[in-house]
Structure 1
Amino acid sequence: MAQITYYANFGEIPFGDITKKETRRWIPDAFDVLCGGFPCQPFSIAGVTKKNSMGRMHGFEDEKQGNLFFYIAEIIERHRPKAIFLENVKNLLSHNRGNTFKIIKEILTNLGYSFHYRILDGKYFVPQHRERVFMVGFDSEVFHYGEEFSFPDMPVKDLKVKDILMEDVDTKYTLSDQLWRYLQEYANKHKANGNGFGFGIADLEGITRTMSARYYKDGSEILIAQKYRNPRRLTPRECALLQGYPDEFIIPVSDTQAYRQFGNSVVVPLIEAIGKCIVNAIKRNFE
């Protein structure tokens, strides 16, 4: 479904699953920058908690999702891009007592790449608290560890949730009485147990919580208060704006699929800002 959205906006269809040999054969022999965001669920706090409760493996031991990084490393080793740009959840740094991140760093440095990383928050570009760890590396055979790279400075902006909200919203996005009652009871139960789990009514004059890929289920982490009605979810268009997509971005899929895709997405203007720093570092090396 994400391929459908990509094609609608850019006129190209991504090759698909890089774990398959037939997909990897389509990768060009030479390219300048590899960008990758391997699945975050095996490393996220929520993902680890859920997998533990189900008796399932997480991190690299999650065979389906956790091992995708090693396919990325294989592509890097084979094609030697000038630079690499990776992204994941902040919890990657502390997962398995820091050993997961240590392995990632060791693999990339052993491949002959420098290693820069920083936790950055999307809230400086959009009205959403969204911390992610970004990893950038440069081929030592080209830059000899002398690249002039630094992560971008965060802009100072007065961002507010109300600025991305639509005026006329279909009532289908309003929570049903049953769902709203369930969310309140769920929050009260966890509050009584001393936990902070529960729904979140967004401060329209501030920023939201982090939107997740599970937003399609109930929208509980970001709800918009309404007069004389139950709270409502964000619309898919509002989710797009909350991630920094332009107004003209085409959403050709169902609401459920759109929520999944935008919940899994990066904050676009933050990625653009880091990308410019990478490109400038490459250009300076060849001036």
Structure 2
Amino acid sequence: MMLQSTMFEQQKIDLSSAPWTMHEFFAGSGLVAYGLKGMFAPVWANDISEQKATVYKANFGDNHFELDDIKNIRGYELPCAHLSWASFPCQDLSLAGSLGGIHASRSGLVWEWLRVLDEMEQRPKILLLENVVGLLSTSKGNNYRILHTALVERGYDCGAIVLNASYFVPQSRPRVFILAVEHGCQIPDELVGDGPCWLHTKTAIELGRSLPQWIWWKTGKPPRRDKTLKDIVEDTAPFDKDNVLRLVPERHQTKLNDHSAVYATGYRRTRHGEQQLELRFDGIAGCLRTPEGGSSKQYLVVKKDGMTHARLLTVREAARLMGAPDSFILPGSYNDGYKAMGDAVAMPVAQFIGERFLIKIAEAVYDD
């Protein structure tokens, strides 16, 4: 037992060696902290979910993690940091959710984050908020406008970019990232354009052209991704869900028949009162979700050697789709691991934003 405990401790990932520091709100399983490793050391992290906290602590330890409701957090009690990262809840902004909006009970927790900022003696000069693309489009853009205005009123200039995890991993996962910098701080010219670029969707462009103190963030595209869905599959996992193949709709069955070999993923959806397993054949998985309800679990369908089989994605496959290495520890049940990944920020996306934007901004903003 002692040997097992020692081995477990040895597997902790050291995040402390970095030139800059950060607070991580709604930290989840810690893939943001992992992505920013060597750039921003978390001096404080928080989440309310015990399941996610278990994953975070198993990988990074618990010396800076606080398991609690953000409503109980007081800004004047937190250590100073250069960056505040907040991946606030998306349920009320997701097109698949309730669309309750920026003031609803879950997504509205962003106001608690702002309250904590207001309570700090010295706020970070750099902020980053992450959420689903519905933040920009729902309520005709008003959800974002309200949040943008709140940041500007607190003395920040900011702009929103949209980055899909599919640039890095075989998963379609577009997300909005709001980068905010204290007004008056010098931002490297290479990071600011005079108009939209590949990082801006139509809705982001419309918002940017109408809002004050908007920053047109820019950077070059990442290198072409070299992995497909096939590359993340655990070949030894048993296929035990062949019964769902009867739910494949005719148009998707035709596509399946056209392939001699294929790796596809699918979700169960209700169409015209009937359950269907809708597949995608482009070599990438659909966006991972949390595991509440059968329709939110993603299936893997593999056709090869004249046979077609189906099963759920494994937790390790979900982790690979989020860019987590196989050494990343995922304790608990299937649902625990799937939730920890389905609610996270893809690790290489956080790394890309850190390398392309955050570290360069920090070097300029805190240069004095």
Partner letter of residue 71 of structure 2? Answer: K
> Residue 75 and residue 272 in structure 1: after superposition, are their counterparts in 2 closer, same or farther (change >3 A)?
same
Segment of structure 1 superposing worse, 70-79 or 159-168: 70-79
CA deviations on 1:157-196 (whole Å, 9 max, x unpaired) are 233100111110034xx2263x555676997962x68x9x
For residues 34 and 188 of structure 1, the distance between their equivalents in structure 2, rounded to whole angstroms, comes to 37
Match of 1:154 in 2: 222
Match of 1:217 in 2: 294
> Residue 220 and residue 167 in structure 1: after superposition, are their counterparts in 2 closer, same or farther (change >3 A)?
same
Partner letter of residue 11 of structure 1? Answer: G
Which structure shows the bigger proportion of residues in helix conformation?
A: 1
Asked if structure 1 preserves the Cα contact closer than 8 Å seen for 2:55 and 2:340, the reply is no
Residue 164 (structure 1) aligned to one of 225, 228, 232: 232
1:19 paired to 2:60: no
Cα deviation for residue 110 of structure 1 reads 0.7
CA deviations on 1:58-93 (whole Å, 9 max, x unpaired) are 113422x03201011112223311211110000110
Segment of structure 1 superposing worse, 261-270 or 213-222: 213-222
For residues 24 and 47 of structure 1, the distance between their equivalents in structure 2, rounded to whole angstroms, comes to 30
Cα deviation for residue 280 of structure 1 reads 1.6
Match of 2:359 in 1: 279
Residue 252 (structure 1) aligned to one of 325, 328, 331: 331
**Identical pairs, percent:** 28
1:42 paired to 2:42: no
Asked if structure 1 preserves the Cα contact closer than 8 Å seen for 2:74 and 2:119, the reply is no
1:31 paired to 2:81: yes
Cα deviation for residue 253 of structure 1 reads 1.4
Partner letter of residue 166 of structure 1? Answer: E
Asked if structure 2 preserves the Cα contact closer than 8 Å seen for 1:117 and 1:135, the reply is yes
Cα deviation for residue 129 of structure 1 reads 0.9
Aligned length in residues: 267
For residues 43 and 189 of structure 1, the distance between their equivalents in structure 2, rounded to whole angstroms, comes to 22
CA deviations on 1:239-286 (whole Å, 9 max, x unpaired) are 000010011000111101111111111111011110222122111330
Match of 1:76 in 2: 117
> Residue 151 and residue 6 in structure 1: after superposition, are their counterparts in 2 closer, same or farther (change >3 A)?
farther
1:201 paired to 2:279: yes
Partner letter of residue 280 of structure 1? Answer: K
SS in 2 for 1:274: helix
> Residue 156 and residue 127 in structure 1: after superposition, are their counterparts in 2 closer, same or farther (change >3 A)?
same
For residues 228 and 119 of structure 2, the distance between their equivalents in structure 1, rounded to whole angstroms, comes to 45
SS in 1 for 2:156: coil
Asked if structure 2 preserves the Cα contact closer than 8 Å seen for 1:201 and 1:225, the reply is no
Asked if structure 2 preserves the Cα contact closer than 8 Å seen for 1:243 and 1:268, the reply is yes
SS in 2 for 1:8: helix
CA deviations on 1:212-258 (whole Å, 9 max, x unpaired) are 11377356544232564641111000000001001100011110111
For residues 156 and 329 of structure 2, the distance between their equivalents in structure 1, rounded to whole angstroms, comes to 37
What is the TM-score of this pair, normalised by structure 2? 0.65
> Residue 234 and residue 126 in structure 1: after superposition, are their counterparts in 2 closer, same or farther (change >3 A)?
same
1:59 paired to 2:101: yes
Cα deviation for residue 122 of structure 1 reads 0.7
> Residue 264 and residue 162 in structure 1: after superposition, are their counterparts in 2 closer, same or farther (change >3 A)?
same
For residues 76 and 294 of structure 2, the distance between their equivalents in structure 1, rounded to whole angstroms, comes to 35
Output the aligned Cα RMSD.
2.9
SS in 2 for 1:116: strand
> Residue 105 and residue 8 in structure 1: after superposition, are their counterparts in 2 closer, same or farther (change >3 A)?
same
Segment of structure 1 superposing worse, 147-156 or 252-261: 147-156
For residues 93 and 239 of structure 1, the distance between their equivalents in structure 2, rounded to whole angstroms, comes to 27
Which structure shows the bigger proportion of residues in strand conformation?
A: 2
Cα deviation for residue 156 of structure 1 reads 1.6
Partner letter of residue 124 of structure 1? Answer: Y
